[in-house]
Structure 1
């Protein structure tokens, strides 16, 4: 469901037509086609678009036959169509009845990215019906082949005038796309928004649904007040104190479960973005789209929020927060902006999550992360921060987020003193868990590199020193001495003894790689046995 004006120009009935204005609007989505021959632009306000009601995304056919010589009325009609959310106008019979296209019409079209198309001039044989048939078939073929309600509705509503970016507009768009009526209500039965299909049936739909509300969420059932119709109710869990309910009523073939779910998801997102007072932006919908690996939805939301998602290559997740609503998200974002040019963030599944562009430097990054922890640790002493970088698309972002959820607890056992975890440490924890899950024999083989230390009578002290040195202290002798509360010379002696037993200096790469992994598996096994 993403036919654009540019797509229509490829149709047989429009191949000889010319775009004479508003070419920047060729990418706008077209939902239907209609004919305009009203002489009075006031009719468009009072009857076609009453009370700023959105009925747009149509492409309109006209020959201005009722105001051929009245350029002012032609311009007024064009402006009313633009205000109503229409995407373009196809002019017929130029050079036959309409002498020429006035430059004022082209100026208006260019100013509003409203596509103005002129059919071949001087041709009397042209018929509206040819274009209507072509466009209608094109739209229905696309709807049968593609089911992408969320991204299409978001794309269309984001191009409407600001005053029409409302939940009501979203419902009207859904009605036009799905050929059904839609009612948004509270679970107590109070109607909040209603959009009827076909237009003009609002009163009968309202009267019928008021007798039935509240309805039970669930499967499709026969509509009790409309013959040959079925209705389906879906819960809307938006960012509101109480859940809402979306009821969709369709005559003839009922809505599929997939379309009903997409419609409910569309309404939820629109409520979160445009259904709040003062137009507060629900940026968490963009975070949700990124982490759920929904690239189409992500791009549409990014356009709405004017976020360059192509520049975002990292996610930071703050974990161990018991009450996420107490987090001052804006302060965390301010800290992240100390190291990155582009930053967005919101609470997702109870975890504050930030998506960032590549940081300017490692030093700035470390300072920003330390500042975040300084802010939250007094109230959330279990908090840790996870950084996943080098993420080129939503699929990798989702994998990184799931990696965090699945392996952070194991990573804490391996690195018990860390507050900041990197993606590689989580991947190591995942590998260790996989090896342990293969069975005790496999796990024992994986810690064989540590067996060389058993030849010394101080085996346990050497083993502990090796683990602390590698896993906790980044191979720093000074930090290892501090961590174990021992004199630095004692640590040096132990490290020399370990190196003698291993046959290579502890910390030398690549020899130490397997020992590092063995130390991590040993710690995880030890923690598992203690538990």
Structure 2
């Protein structure tokens, strides 16, 4: 889900209810989530492209009003419901739907029910009105927030209240620094008493790596603060402020801002917020382990990930295998966070017992593990199959997706995006598999693109299966699908899936070869046949697939 952040962050007392009184929202209808109307509002974001993975992006800090028309998922109610769940999970304040009855035919009752269950305000702008502009709401809400900021310069107490309302996974030093940076419009760098980097939040977000390195260089070279430095013909100031927590831990906060904009009250309040946060949530904020790298890799694969890994004395480059364990679409809501935590623990033990270097953590609805690959692929394959057998015994419906040859953290994120996009499609094609590979995800994506929007098998692939038409057509297609897709050309396995004797499968396959006129096990004919069967299977299960 791609989102564009608009404006600055406020930590004052503006609520969704207050925003609904603004002229641009006065005629909007609250369809659901009335109990959440007193949620604080910090800023406004525009949802451009609804894909669930990006909901984990650290740019989602909560307390935002989200404006969207759900254009990319206008016909997919399940995806709309999932978007609402994700927005609620990251602590957003409300969603405002535009162009209902123009792009979206209506607001499905399932969407209303989800919003009500979560107490998440679902607001609909006047229907069938294409003249409505996002900019009207953006301008009015941000001006309302700005005026509130101008009237109240003491923000520490209210910001701490906002932090207390964060969900545990959001309440991190990075998240708190981001809130402070947005509120003060300063760049913040926090280090501990040993000089280790605890968090960095740039302002604006577009500041590049070169600026950050310049800040580090000037801090290392100077003991006398504040200091002034030039970056791309602009003058900046670095201020330094230290504080101690109730556990006697000492931290130093460096505040970086454009020359002439430094305000002592902002800097002191930022330190106060951080000190109080450590005093209140010390255990949460200190839970930095190697496993945190999983989320960092999948959310925002930047040089920061390598820096953190180096500080933990871990080399990420040999970790070229990624396992993603998540439930099949049919079992999506069967297993909860406690199950994922147990699976994480079991996988960590399993990797350690097999002398694998690895990091494991829960992520979204899955458990993700990165590990080094063995010089013999068969060894890693055996490990995977043994683990999958255990998972199927303890957690039926769990699927392990194996992605290998990941030579960078960018490769890892790309592989996870592929999984998120096409996992349901792959599960429909490979209905009997408990281990999926990156190649099968790519093939599922290819099938998805071929079939997208079609209600019948495309002509090219219909002609491939045409020789099988007749009284035994369904039996022939079922047999071929089991043999090629499910059993990987293993007759015994195909017989098991079809609940028939092996000799029956052999007899059917001989008849099929005669009708098709070529050997169904030889390339290139088998590829076109394989894809035609996969597309045919998708057509029969498309009601369960998110297109």
TM-score, normalised with respect to structure 2: 0.49
Name the counterpart of 1:325: 338
Counterpart Cα distance in 2 of 1:353 and 1:524: 27
- The 1:276–1:520 alpha-carbon spacing in structure 2 relative to 1, beyond 3 Å, is same
Query: Equivalent residue of 1:174, what SS?
Result: strand
The alpha-carbon deviation at position 530 of structure 1 amounts to 8.1
Partners of 1:54 and 1:384 in 2: how far apart?
44
* Structure 2 counterpart of 1:519: 533
Provide the C-alpha distance between the structure 2 equivalents of 1:506 and 1:403, rounded to a whole number of angstroms. 29
CA distance, structure 2, for counterparts of residue 317 and residue 428 of structure 1: 18
RMSD: 4.5
Pairing 1:496–2:510 present: yes
Give a deviation string over 1:296-348, Cα, whole Å, max 9, x none.
Answer: 11111111221111112221111017223333323202323566742111111
In the alignment, what sits opposite 1:420? 435
Conservation of the 8 A alpha-carbon contact between 1:449 and 1:518: yes
Distance 1:167 1:310, change over 3 A: farther
Q: Do 1:481 and 1:491's aligned partners in 2 also have CA atoms closer than 8 Å?
A: yes
The answer to whether the 8 Å contact 1:56/1:87 transfers is: no
Mapped partners of 1:379, 1:431: distance in 2: 33
Partner SS for 1:345: strand
Alignment correspondent of 1:358:
373
Once residues 492 and 438 of structure 2 are traced to their aligned partners in structure 1, the CA distance between those partners, rounded to angstroms, is 26
Residue 306 (str. 1) matches residue 313 (str. 2): yes
Cα distance, 1:480–1:305 mapped onto 2, change above 3 Å: same
Name the CA distance, whole Å, in 2 between partners of 1:426 and 1:345.
22
Which residue number in structure 1 is paired with residue 135 of structure 2? none
Distance 1:291 1:311, change over 3 A: same
Contact 2:320/2:404 (8 A) holds in 1: yes
SS state at 1:294 partner: coil
* Alpha-carbon contact 1:339-1:364 (below 8 Å) kept: no
* Counterparts of 1:476 and 1:487, CA distance in 2: 13
Q: Deviations over 1:488-511 (max 9, x none)?
A: 222111111111122211111222
Q: For 1:451 and 1:529, locate their aligned partners in 2 and report how far apart those are by CA, in whole Å.
A: 24
Deviations 1:99-156 (A, max 9, x none): xxxxxxxxxxxxxxxxxxxxxxxxxxxxxxxxx99x956x44279699xx9xxx9xxx
User: What is aligned with 1:252?
Assistant: none
Using the alignment, how far apart are the partners of 2:310 and 2:440 within structure 1? 34
SS at match of 2:231: helix
Measured against aligned partners, the alpha-carbon deviations of 1:449-488 in whole angstroms (never above 9, x if no partner) come to 122211x532221111000000111101122122222222
The one-character-per-residue Cα deviations of 1:47-106 (angstroms, maximum 9, x if unpaired) are xxxxx985979xxxxxxxxxxxxxxxxxxxxxxxxxxxx85699xxxxxxxxxxxxxxxx
Kept in 2: contact 1:324–1:351 (CA 8 A): no
Number of the residue aligned with 1:315: 322
Q: Deviations over 1:182-235 (max 9, x none)?
A: xxxxxxxxxxxxxx986xx89x957x999xxxxxxxxxxxxxxxxxxxxxxxxx
Q: Is the 2:301–2:413 Cα contact (8 Å) retained in structure 1?
A: no
Greater relative contact order structure (CA < 8 Å, 6+ sep)? 2
Deviation at 1:529, TM superposition (A): 5.7
Instruction: Tell me: CA distance 1:364–1:334, structure 2 relative to 1, closer, same or farther (3 Å).
Output: farther
Q: Which runs of 4+ in 1 moved over 4 A?
A: 52-57, 86-90, 142-146, 165-168, 245-248, 277-280, 337-340
Instruction: Indicate how the Cα distance of structure 1 residues 494 and 530 shifts in structure 2: closer, same or farther if over 3 A, else same.
Output: farther
The answer as to 2:420 corresponding to 1:405 is: yes
Distance 1:338 1:514, change over 3 A: farther
CA distance in 2, matches of 1:145, 1:398: 36
Alignment size in residue pairs: 317
| Superposition map of 1:378-397 within 5 A | 378-397=393-412
Following TM superposition, by how much is the alpha carbon of 1:441 offset from its aligned partner in structure 2, in angstroms?
Answer: 6.0
Asked if 1 retains the 8 angstrom alpha-carbon contact of 2:323 and 2:369, the reply is yes
CA offset digits 1:272-307 (Å, max 9, x no partner): 9xx538965433431122112422111111112211
> CA separation of 1:88/1:247 partners in 2, compared to 1, >3 Å: closer, same or farther?
closer
Does the 8 Å contact 1:299/1:309 carry over to 2? yes
Residue matched to 2:474: 460
- Structure 1 pair 173–435 and aligned structure 2 pair: CA distance change class (3 A): same
Does residue 507 of the first structure (1) align with residue 521 of the second (2)? Answer: yes
1:296 pairs, out of 303, 316, 337, with 303
Q: Distance in 2 between matches of 1:53 and 1:309?
A: 24
2:447 equivalent to 1:432: yes
Call closer, same or farther: CA 1:144–1:311 in 2, change over 3 Å. farther
Q: Distance in 1 between matches of 2:392 and 2:254?
A: 46
Secondary structure in 2 matching 1:173: strand
Shift of 1:442: 6.6
What is the deviation of 1:166? 9.8
| Match of residue 174 from structure 1 | 254
1:447/1:518 contact within 8 Å kept: yes
TM score, norm. by length of structure 1: 0.51
1:371 & 1:447 partners in 2: Cα distance? 39
**Among 134, 141, 149, which residue is 2:231 paired with?**
141
